[in-house]
Chains A and B, each alone.
Chain A
Amino acid sequence: MINKLISLCFAVVLLQGCTKLDENIYDKYTSEDFYNSKEGSDVALAAVYAQIPGNWDGVGYAGADRGWYDLNSMSTDEQVIPHRNTGDWELDFARLYLRQWLPTDGFINNTWNWLYKSVFNANLAVAQLETANADPSKIAEAKVLRAFFYYLLIDDFGDVPFFTDNNVTVDKIPQEKRAVIFDFIVKEINENVELLSSAKGGVYYGRFNKWAGYALLAKLYLNAEVYTGTPRWQECLDACNKVSEGGFSLHSGAADNSHPLGYKYFELFGDVLPDDETILAIYTRVDVVGRNIFTVRSLGGSDASALFGYSGWNGSVVPKDFLDKFNDNDIRKRQFRYGASPFGPRPAGFTIYSVELNNIDNPGANPNDGARSQKFFPAAPANSGGASNDFPIYRYADILLMKAECHVRMNNAGAGKPFVDEVRQRAGLQALSAAPTLEDIYNERGFELAWEGHRRQDMIRFGTFLLPRGLVKAAQSYRLLFPIPTAALNANPLLTQNPEYN
């Protein structure tokens, strides 16, 4: 009797439920379910944009540290974070300025990983939106975003792995020639740019509308000679003119006592960037969507405390040779703080920074050496981890200077003069006395676009990137490209390192 009971119990257990081994998912969505839903395809596009604000761990285009922005800015003449003789700041920042970066340096790996994760997200968005038969403008937007990331990849690394479908294995994505990817990007933008919305601001703030698409196309053509060996100045000019159809104008440069730096010009780097000039912005709200550390990172600890009530990092400074080029009447010079009576607020206990910087690596600079930047004068909410200033990726002043450059490059310098003058006069300077030279354009780009992430590309195009600067020697030509990061080579032995890095 008992035997029977027991065996019955066993039988019941064995037959029922005891072999159910499906995995329960309580707190996430499976990717198939999620991306095949309408809600999922909508947010796939938003998730690509989520890649752009800068944040910790070196992700994003600009706003935080150790990522794309630092790599493309600290390697130029416009900024450096010197090692301090008080022990602050690791030497990898100085290595960027010295153009002695190593393939193991975090900036390079972070940038690579960020860009390829962005490409993956963009591929995913394109696939999901196409599957969901989404609005063609959205599909076009995802494709242009992908083109943007590939443009950044070939700009920094040259020949890179190329794929547009995520269902691919690594052996199918060899390194593609820079010029081939260039052709893809140009074709992709040309095919999609007219599908993009022409609306500005509002729901398109921080997104690729038609005008941002043409600005990106113009950038490709502007640097075509660097990427392919063949200049495309006329195409660049045409694309810039397309941007102008969007009805942009330079934002006012008038004096304005309500701004801490005294001029409306600095609203271009504030909380919400003005629609008149801004073509593509990064929306930022510290600790929520990205962050903007550029001023707090630059100012000294107690100086920032005196100014804003939270501590500064005593990090990035403006090299003297770059600062010295500014005219004293240029309102744009007010973006820097130095000397006993600096621009902007002077609270009790503010720090006097010297313009001189005697050493950047061994034994390092004195604590208060080097002029500082307050261009992105912190917008609330802000703390020692950054502020909420939005960041301009493309703005109309850049387009005007690109137009001028195209004219000069095509031996029509006179036609370029009004564009340069427009930018100069907004900044409180006189018009040029003669038709602009390439050097005029180069310098003006430095004044107007300082610390906005364009400098490396400009210096390479104008042939100044490798020259000696300030305290440091000339660099060898292989430094025009960054190395493929060591970690990427470790993970994928099929990759070939850029020349002379190993």
Chain B
Amino acid sequence: MISACFILSYVLSFAQTSSMGGKITDETNQPLAGTVVSLQGNTSQKTATGSDGRYRFNSVPYGTYIVRISSIGYQEITRDILVQDGGQLIVDFKMEPIATGLEQVVVVGYGTQKRRDVTGAVATISSEDLNQGPITNPLQQISGKAAGVHVNQVGGEPGSAPNVRIRGISSLIGGNDPLVVIDGVQGNMDLLNQLPPSEIESVDILKDASATAIYGSRGAPGVIIVTTKTNRAGTTTLEYNAVSSVDAISRKLDMLDADQWWEQAQIYGVPASANHGSRTDWYDILTKNGTIQNHTLSLGGNERNFNYRASLNFISQDGVVLRSNFQNYIGRIQATQKAFDDKLSIAFNLNGSVRNTEGSPNGVYRPAFTANLITNAYLMRPTDPVLNTDGSYYTDGNVFQYINPYALSQTVVNEGSNNNLFGTVKADLELTKGLIAGIFGSWRRVDNNWGYYLPAASTMPSAIDNQGIANINNNRQDEKLLNLSLNYKSVFDNHSLDVLGLYEWQSQLYYGNFAQAKGFINDITRYHALQLGDLTRVQPGDFSSYKNDRALVSFLARVNYGYMDRYLLTASFRRDGSTVFGDNHKWGNFPSVSLAWRIDQEPFMQGQNIFNDLKLRAGYGVTGNQQGLYPQNALQLVGYAGQTYFGGEQITNYAISQNGNKDLRWETKYQLNIGLDFAVLDSRLRGTIDAYTATTKNLLFNYTVPQPPYPFGNIVANVGSMLNKGLEASLSYKLIDNSNTTLTLAANGASLRNRVLKLSGQIDGVPLNTDFVGWGTNSYLVEGKPIGSFYMLENLGKDENNKETVIDRDGNGIIDQGARSPDRYYAGGALPTYTYGFTPSFRYKNFDAAMVWRGSGGNKIYNTLRQNLSFFENIGKSNLLENAVPLGLYTTEYGSDLWLEPGDFLRFENLTLGYRFDVERIRCISSLRVSLTGNNLAVLTSYSGIDPELNVGGGNGFGSDGGMYPRLRSIAVGLHINLK
């Protein structure tokens, strides 16, 4: 048991009753307000601590009392105390958080459970364990903290969110992003943009199907449940948090400098006219140091039956690439009022945010190369000047579609505003003892407005042709959710029962418009006055609008049953209907069941001293996926297809816009999970081990179909199945634990094996061979192999013309580049097969320190950027990598394994040092802490690119490196003040 220390001291006096008082502090010796102290004995009394952490009973008769100290989030303390006559008794208590204890509250979806009662695989990260530092997205706070939860950040573009995969990729079509639930509101990952990072109380991650099945279709990829801070009873808060960082680029590629470039260029016959004699470090002039600011002001109170909390948050990031930045403003207010003797509780939540982004352009096109602006800087010849002698931006008319990236970065306007507003209302009414009826509604609106102006000065050929291009893109979302629930809880004899019935309806509406004008006499109005454009330049595609929606209807029931606190059962059933499927396939049934056995509670375990806690869990559940599917895929639709000329005039052309599939149905995932929770060595060592297998059937995917007969090369269909299995372990060991010092070593690891079981299926009644479907660059879906398997041609060397040669494995004299080619071999997979984190923390008196090391591996990366920057056929117009020189390749006809590299890495992600000042004597401050954080301090990897952390989440660019926004290395200072 974790010991709570208490100090008794007596001052003798002569009264008949004694007074009793003291101070209650938390594990860091900070006063703990709102702690309830109760006495039971000759009399029963109850009080709560004030903001100074002090409590007092004025009149306590002689006798023996049981003192109970309880505070949400802390382990309850119970002590026997003898109160003598006429004394003044001072009793101080120090409380320990229950972050890892059995009493910890776990949010399990539509309700909470205590940790000891949880039957599924649920990871909980409480606020004190969240990563600190320059946080711009709440997901950064859980990186490396939970086994099997892979938080992956590609590059450091301002406002870019990490990608999260829980237990890998179980769907091919998408819909692999976990469901996010913030205080009951369900949404996609972007919902987290509306949350001030420092307002998070805890994050619960539902991993296995028995836990996620309660969310039915939307829960298949896992669920991240965020609970925000609320005030403890009887307390008020005024809190200020600030973090400020300086960011630098952690790694650059080594390109040829001006002398090296010209030396090589001459070898490859580049004419002197291509050497413009400058010495320009293009990457350097397009980048700088960045900064991140994060300020939060929170206030709250909890008096009698009214509870509120409000916060203002401002996040600002100035990126390391010129003119890339974002600001996020969030305001939120929550209020809960109780009535009818606390039988009715109504909670309102209103949350608004504005997110302004100025982006460095993406998708900058030049022949055979399209990437973001900063990656284009690598392509620039180091001998090109930035400016002409007259101060205008330099361009080279002798290079086809030359782009001066500095001109582009200085002149383009590419900015957007994302306005979010959501409100929720939740009402719970206790009908009779244990029976609660609830209603919950949420409505979220997102307005995303993007403006773009590309002036002729940008040197972009299209802008020069059109004398400026301006456009405005408005996209709106309307998301509504309503649920009605009945919840019954009862404890009788040795039985405990918790039954939930729920109906839920949700809809998401997407609509928007686009307008574009070209031909401006000057650049003054940017995109703010499209009417000033030249009307004669209006073309098809210059204006458009769209609207589509989806709805999901669900019925669910869940039973939690416990017998003798030892045998726990959770069973749930959810029936979901979705609009996006074919007429006969709209409904899916998603049952789950899980059991837990608290072995340490058995009589036969009473004598043993090894295990302080031992629980075995097993669960099986079915979940569905429909969120990855866009609306309207089931139908063959006719839409706009530009203009055509017919009957002597230009007319609108209509065309079938996709291959329809009336048989689209639910993709379903069947998951089995077995887990063990244990605590040994006097609870100093705690651990959780989970093993699971998940089989996804009726895999939705945009499958390749033959042309002919299909008019398009792809069709969304349910074909095939896939297996994920893995092992997860988290351990935490309190190496030192005394009143001055704690040292906790925590680590987690997960292995993940993915295998495509079957890919053949039928479409329109005809067997369709979909084996060896491309998925990523040179990677494929192949039966029996993990998704994203690299089947590669093997580099041999080069021929007399310095053209790359590859091995002709079947020796037929022809290099077959087909997907099933016998000349290819299996060279590894794009998916990491293991992830791990090491997160030690240390505290000595007022000083604290924490580290995060995390890594992943077992995967390969196809280094597309290196390939692009390595062939000397391009040197006349483009710079190349230094390491291209020893290769000496002129050109290639293949994508070979020469560019395939191991993707293993270990990152020293975070080091935070903090100091908490003693503020007891300062009147207005109840706590004050300063901190220093270093982020991304080191990366151990053999990968030759900028950063080995790439898209392993599926979709565009999966498994390859096409050039990214630079990764940041940051040093941050933080301040936290609590006022009283």
Mutual binders A and B: yes
Name A's B-contacting residues (CB within 8 A): 2-3, 6, 9-10, 13-14, 18-32, 34-35, 40, 43, 45-47, 49-50, 53, 83-91, 102-104, 112-113, 116-117, 119-121, 124, 161, 163, 166, 168-171, 173, 202-207, 283, 285, 287-289, 300-302, 305, 310-311, 313-315, 361-364, 366-367, 381, 383-385, 486-493, 495, 500-502
Q: Is B522 positioned at the interface, with any CB of A under 8 Å from its CB?
A: no
Shortest Cβ distance from B579 into chain A, in angstroms?
5
Shortest Cβ distance from A244 into chain B, in angstroms?
25
Q: Is B593 positioned at the interface, with any CB of A under 8 Å from its CB?
A: no
**Are A10 and B635 in contact (CB-based, < 8 A)?**
no
Shortest Cβ distance from B402 into chain A, in angstroms?
8
Q: Is B42 positioned at the interface, with any CB of A under 8 Å from its CB?
A: no
CB < 8 Å neighbour of B429 from A2, A161, A203, A287 = A2
A and B contact pairs by CB, cutoff 8 A, 11 listed: A43-B652, A45-B646, A86-B877, A88-B876, A102-B817, A116-B711, A120-B710, A314-B400, A364-B876, A490-B820, A491-B705
Shortest Cβ distance from B182 into chain A, in angstroms?
25
- Known contacts A2-B429, A23-B632, A207-B646, A46 near B653 by CB under 8 Å: yes
A166 to B511, CA, bound (A): 33
**Are B271 and A28 in contact (CB-based, < 8 A)?**
no
A164 to B765, CA, bound (A): 19
Closest A residue, CB atoms, query B269: A363
Q: Which residues of B contact A50 (CB under 8 A)?
A: 641-644, 646, 653, 655
**Are B707 and A30 in contact (CB-based, < 8 A)?**
no
Binds A, one of B218-226, B232-240, B546-554: B546-554
**Are B709 and A168 in contact (CB-based, < 8 A)?**
yes
Shortest Cβ distance from B712 into chain A, in angstroms?
8
**Are B632 and A25 in contact (CB-based, < 8 A)?**
yes
**Are B398 and A383 in contact (CB-based, < 8 A)?**
no
Closest B residue, CB atoms, query A92: B893
Shortest Cβ distance from A460 into chain B, in angstroms?
23
Binds A, one of B462-470, B939-947, B966-974: B462-470
A205 to B644, CA, bound (A): 13
Range of interface residues on B (Cβ < 8 Å):
35 or more
**Are A49 and B645 in contact (CB-based, < 8 A)?**
yes
- Known contacts A21-B579, A501-B814, A86 near B274 by CB under 8 Å: yes
**Are B644 and A366 in contact (CB-based, < 8 A)?**
no
Closest A residue, CB atoms, query B552: A21
Q: Which residues of A contact B767 (CB under 8 A)?
A: 171
Q: Which residues of A contact B816 (CB under 8 A)?
A: 502
- Known contacts A2-B431, A120-B711, A362-B890, A490 near B818 by CB under 8 Å: yes
A104 to B893, CA, bound (A): 9
**Are A163 and B708 in contact (CB-based, < 8 A)?**
yes
Query: Which of B461, B764, B765, B820 has the largest count of A CB atoms less than 10 A from its CB?
Result: B461
A311 to B484, CA, bound (A): 64
Shortest Cβ distance from B8 into chain A, in angstroms?
50
A112 to B801, CA, bound (A): 31
**Are B269 and A364 in contact (CB-based, < 8 A)?**
yes
**For residues 642 through 668 of chain B, which have their beta carbon under 8 Å from a beta carbon of chain A?**
642-648, 650-657, 660
Shortest Cβ distance from B603 into chain A, in angstroms?
41
Q: Which residues of B contact A23 (CB under 8 A)?
A: 579-580, 631-632, 634-635
Query: Which of A10, A40, A43, A204 has the largest count of B CB atoms less than 10 A from its CB?
Result: A43
Extra A-B contacts (20), CB below 8 Å, given A10-B503, A46-B653, A173-B709: A6-B486, A24-B549, A25-B548, A29-B639, A31-B637, A34-B654, A45-B646, A46-B644, A47-B644, A50-B642, A50-B655, A87-B877, A88-B876, A120-B710, A206-B646, A287-B539, A288-B540, A315-B400, A385-B465, A488-B706
A12 to B707, CA, bound (A): 50
Query: Which of A87, A112, A169, A287 has the largest count of B CB atoms less than 10 A from its CB?
Result: A87
Scan B692-727; emit 1 where CB is below 8 A from any A CB, else 0. Answer: 000000000000111111111100000000000000
Query: Which of A35, A50, A103 has the largest count of B CB atoms less than 10 A from its CB?
Result: A50
Q: Is B368 positioned at the interface, with any CB of A under 8 Å from its CB?
A: yes
Q: Which residues of A contact B376 (CB under 8 A)?
A: none
Closest B residue, CB atoms, query A502: B816
Q: Which residues of A contact B893 (CB under 8 A)?
A: 102, 104
A493 to B766, CA, bound (A): 14
CB < 8 Å neighbour of B648 from A91, A205, A385 = A205
Q: Is B198 positioned at the interface, with any CB of A under 8 Å from its CB?
A: no
Shortest Cβ distance from B313 into chain A, in angstroms?
36
Q: Which residues of B contact A6 (CB under 8 A)?
A: 431, 437, 486
Closest B residue, CB atoms, query A301: B397
Shortest Cβ distance from A106 into chain B, in angstroms?
11
Q: Is B40 positioned at the interface, with any CB of A under 8 Å from its CB?
A: no
Q: Which residues of B contact A492 (CB under 8 A)?
A: 706
Closest A residue, CB atoms, query B823: A502
**Are A28 and B269 in contact (CB-based, < 8 A)?**
no
Q: Is B35 positioned at the interface, with any CB of A under 8 Å from its CB?
A: no
Scan B477-502; emit 1 where CB is below 8 A from any A CB, else 0. Answer: 00000001010000000000000000
Q: Which residues of B contact A18 (CB under 8 A)?
A: 503, 505, 553
A169 to B437, CA, bound (A): 54
A195 to B913, CA, bound (A): 87
**Are B553 and A87 in contact (CB-based, < 8 A)?**
no
Report the 5 A-B pairs with minimum CB-CB distance, sorted nearest first: A87-B877, A87-B876, A363-B269, A50-B644, A492-B706
Q: Which residues of B contact A301 (CB under 8 A)?
A: 397-400, 402
**Are A87 and B637 in contact (CB-based, < 8 A)?**
no
Q: Which residues of B contact A34 (CB under 8 A)?
A: 638, 654
Q: Is B956 positioned at the interface, with any CB of A under 8 Å from its CB?
A: no
**For residues 390 through 431 of chain B, which have their beta carbon under 8 Å from a beta carbon of chain A?**
397-402, 429, 431
Q: Is B268 positioned at the interface, with any CB of A under 8 Å from its CB?
A: yes
**Are B268 and A13 in contact (CB-based, < 8 A)?**
no
- Known contacts A31-B638, A43-B653, A305-B397, A362 near B632 by CB under 8 Å: no
Shortest Cβ distance from B970 into chain A, in angstroms?
37
Shortest Cβ distance from B821 into chain A, in angstroms?
8
